[in-house]
Amino acid sequence: MNEAPRVTLTVKDGVAVIVVDNPPVNAISHAVRAGILAAVSEIEDGGKVEAAVLTAAGRTFMSGSDIREFDFPQKEPHLELVNAALEALAVPIVAAIHGTALGGGFELAMACHYRVADAKAKVGLPEVNLGLIPGAGGTQRLPRLIGAKAALELIQAGRHVAAPEALKLGMIDEIAMGDVLATAIAAAKRLAVEKNIPRTRARVVSTAGLPADFFAEQRAAAQKKFRGFPAPMAAVDLVEAAVKQPFAEGRALEAEASRHFKASAESKALRHLFFAEREVARIPDVPKDTPVRAIQSVGVIGAGTMGRGIALSFLNAGFPVIIVETKQEALDRGLAAIDQTLARDVGKGRLPADQKAERLARLNGALDLTALAGADLIIEAAFENMVIKRRLFAQLDKVCKPGAILASNTSTLDLNHIAAATSRPADVIGTHFFSPANIMRLLEIVRGRETAKDVVATLMDVAKRIGKVGVLSGVCFGFIGNRMFEGYVRESQRLLLEGATPGQVDKALTDFGMAMGPCAVCDLAGLDVSYLTREGNRAHMPNDPSYCVLGDKLYHLGRLGQKTGTGFYLYENGKAKTDPDVETLIRAEASRLGIEQRAITDEEIVERCLLPMISEAAQILDEGIALRASDIDVVWCTGYGFPRFRGGPLWYADGLGLANVVTRMAAIAARLGNPHGYWTPAPLLKRLAAEGKGFGDLAK
């Protein structure tokens, strides 16, 4: 348990300093709000104070509100009451910001009369990331500080703004060259001498240069841009209120909107993911203080699709990388592709040109595994073939220094069998990156039977260092994500045979919120990739002649998806179009298999694709492949484009009610038959449903 938060007030030379001390991040809990308010009253009553400063102890200013309190009605005093009291002070009060002042933290700072920040500080209103809008004056004060346009952009993006940009925009007034507190005290004294108390609420919002229909335009743009996310849409109305209405009226609208969004399903789902993404790093038998191995240099085997992306991830995070290929030509192609990706980033202004050179200077290529002798971490991304991988790992065992971590990017092969090709299976682990590996945030970290705890701890740490969300998975075919994806894709293709079109299936699922529909995803990933995966696993596949038969047919026709310009769709100038040939193929296959075609509703598509996934997830949990239900939600939201506003497949399932999930599976089984057990709920799902529980109850 944290100690009770302390808010202290000290007065020196006529300047009162309020210090909030609520480790680790000075979250604005109820006690913090009450403490600041008490300090403000003391300043008002004391009479000996000429100026004041609000600051925080430890590593950061108030980093934000205490999100756990959002599930309950906020206890008095509300943050805006505290803000109003700060703002109304008769003496100038200055916020001294170090670390981050986000959300409620920045709202407190905006209520002060002047803001001084450390050069490295960050400020912002990221509430939309949790499905919320700033609820303590943020939507009314930010436009008054920086103008309507910039404020709306920042509130909608929920972006953290670094001090130099914040100064330019007017979010802060001064960057401290030396000590922030001393600079803030000096500023407070100066304002006192000048008798200058600039209250944010009293300012007029700048609309300079904006067209008359600015808000109408913004409203229309938001409808398109923020599908499924009502909070950034509502921000338009609230910033408009800041422009057109007195502070108190705008504030009343904000309070109402804030209450509404806190209670919304979207915000609850996003808050669930916020905690899930933090919980994911907790591994019960690998305590936080487990020592990690020093990783200073990285080797990558294979410069294909994945090797390139993996190398880039490490280069971007500052590691030196050696990439090993079998042939000079393949190596050159890989290195050139990395160069091109960095050049594109420079072209788009995402990367300064000198940083491209600096990153490339840390990259070396080789044609011999002995080049990896000094590497601390080696990630193998060669062909998905057990013989090749075992041979490579046996060689690595001979070449690599003791203590080096040997990782495989295999997506389907048995990691334990790969590890057994070495004399050091404790040092072997799976690192399942997602394509494109330099972009996708998910990294499944696959723990083999013998993987050492410090190797697990090291990879979880490495994931963070390269900006990924590491999720621990046990060894099984497809790990967490792809194992669930299998049922999803199977049903999507079966629905085509029953009468849906690729366009309809994809649209039903993108309307549900998926980033892409399954047919488009298969075309993007390559129909050869999914075909070869099935080939490698035929022995364990259901004896179902319709099973992914369309994927197989397209593969045999050489229609491999986007890479060949034809797959489920026809690609012209990068745009997917319906292909009549595919519709003919689907009809022919349906008739060959004796499947009657019928009209299919979008509801059926969503249900048929999602329920098998949920049941498989229950089985994954039961087998201990995933540590917890929320980890599965993280996998799907960070790696598979599952809509974040639905919280992940298991949060969504809990929302449906597991008894309903089981009932719906039984209804589908009754209608379609269940010869392959597709619609038999996993035992854990059945048990939870019978007990009236959800996946969320497993954590309790």
Catalytic residue set: 107, 127
Burial class of residue 231 (count of CB atoms within 10 Å of its CB; 0-12, 13-18, 19+)? buried
> Least Å distance between CB 616 and ligand NAD?
19
Among 388, 593, 670, 672, the residue binding ligand NAD under the rule CB under 6 A is 388
CB nearer ligand NAD, residue 213 or residue 368 = 368
Contact stretch for ligand NAD (CB under 6 A) within 120-128, 291-299, 379-387, 656-664:
379-387
Selected from 264, 416, 435, 619, the binder of ligand NAD by CB under 6 A is: 435
Nearest distance, CB of residue 361 and ligand NAD, angstroms: 23
| Site of tokens 């509801």 | 603
Per CB under 6 A, which region of 83-91, 195-203, 351-359, 380-388 contacts ligand NAD? Answer: 380-388
* Shortest CB 634 distance to ligand NAD, Å: 17
Contact at 8 Å (CB) between 628 and 699?
yes
Q: Which of 131, 130, 139, 68 is nearest to 110 (CA)?
A: 139
Residue 369 beta carbon to ligand NAD: minimum distance, rounded to whole angstroms: 7
**C-beta of residue 338 within 8 angstroms of C-beta of residue 437:** no
Dihedral, 641, 645, 650, 656 alpha carbons, nearest 10:
-130
Instruction: Label residue 575 exposed, middle or buried (CB < 10 Å: 0-12, 13-18, 19+).
Output: exposed
Which of residues 433 and 555 has its CB atom nearest to ligand NAD in the complex? 433
Nearer to ligand NAD, 239 or 338 (CB): 338
Looking at the Cβ atoms of 29 and 410, the one nearer to ligand NAD is 410
Phi, psi of 190 (to 5 degrees): -60, -45
Task: Please say which residue, 305 or 355, places its beta carbon nearer to ligand NAD.
Answer: 305
Contact string 317-356 vs ligand NAD (x = CB under 6 A): -------xxx---x--------------------------
Exposure of 56 in the CB half-sphere (CA atoms within 13 A): 31
Does 117 help bind ligand NAD (rule: CB under 6 A)? no
**Is 254 within 8 Å of 137 (Cβ atoms)?**
yes
Give SS3 for 16.
Answer: strand
Q: Which two tokens stand for residue 177?
A: 């060259």
Instruction: Report the nearest approach of ligand NAD to the CB of residue 301 (Å).
Output: 5
Rounded distance, CA 496 to CA 503, Å? 10
Rounded Cα distance, 530 and 489, in Å: 10
CB of residue 294 to ligand NAD, shortest distance in Å: 25
Q: Which of 595, 585, 592 is nearest to 673 (CA)?
A: 595
Shortest distance in whole angstroms from residue 335 CB to ligand NAD = 12
Residues touching ligand NAD: how many (CB under 6 A)?
Answer: 25
Q: Which of 442/634 has CB closer to ligand NAD?
A: 442
C-beta of 325: minimal distance to ligand NAD in Å?
5
Applying CB under 6 A, among 8, 59, 223, 383 the residue interacting with ligand NAD is: 383
Q: How many CB atoms lie within 10 A of CB 244?
A: 13
**Residues from 301 through 320 that contact ligand NAD (CB under 6 A):** 301-307
Q: Which of these ranges, 116-124, 160-168, 200-208, 377-385, lies near ligand NAD under the rule CB under 6 A?
A: 377-385
CA distance 276 to 294: 27
Q: 């920045």: which residue's tokens?
A: 106
Q: Which of 231, 6, 69 is nearest to 138 (CA)?
A: 231
Q: Are 104 and 70 in contact (CB under 8 A)?
A: no
Closer by beta carbon to ligand NAD, 132 or else 323: 323
Q: Give the residues across from 117 on adjacent strands.
A: 97, 175
Two tokens at 303?
């410069």
Q: Which residue is nearest to ligand NAD (CB)?
A: 304
Query: Could you say which of 384, 491, 523, 654 contacts ligand NAD (CB under 6 A)?
Result: 384
Rg (CA), the chain: 28
| Binding to ligand NAD, residues 392-411 (CB under 6 A) | 392, 409-411
CA-to-CA separations, 454 to 171, 210, 379, in angstroms, rounded: 44, 57, 17
- In contact, 32 and 5? CB cutoff 8 Å: yes
To ligand NAD, the closest distance from the beta carbon of 298 in angstroms equals 15
* 114-117/93-97 β-pairing: parallel
Stretch that binds ligand NAD, among 96-104, 129-137, 430-438, 591-599 (CB under 6 A): 430-438
Contact region with ligand NAD (CB under 6 A), list: 158-166, 295-303, 457-465, 548-556: 295-303
Q: Of the two residues 307 and 649, which places its CB atom closer to ligand NAD in the complex? A: 307
Q: Residue 169 or 459: which CB sits closer to ligand NAD?
A: 459
Say which residue the tokens 């060669």 belong to. 382
The beta-strand segments (E) located in 463-586 are: 469-473, 570-572, 575-577
Question: Considering beta carbons, is residue 9 or 321 the nearer one to ligand NAD?
Answer: 321
Report in angstroms how near the CB of residue 291 gets to ligand NAD at its nearest: 29
Locate the DSSP E strands across 198-344.
298-301, 321-324
Q: Give dist(CA 287, CA 407) in Å, integer.
A: 21
Stretch that binds ligand NAD, among 382-390, 563-571, 592-600, 657-665 (CB under 6 A): 382-390
- Separation of alpha carbons 135 and 79, rounded Å: 8
Stretch 518-557 residues interacting with ligand NAD (CB under 6 A)? 525, 529
Which residues make up the interface to ligand NAD (CB under 6 A)?
Answer: 301-307, 324-326, 330, 381-384, 388, 392, 409-411, 432-433, 435, 525, 529
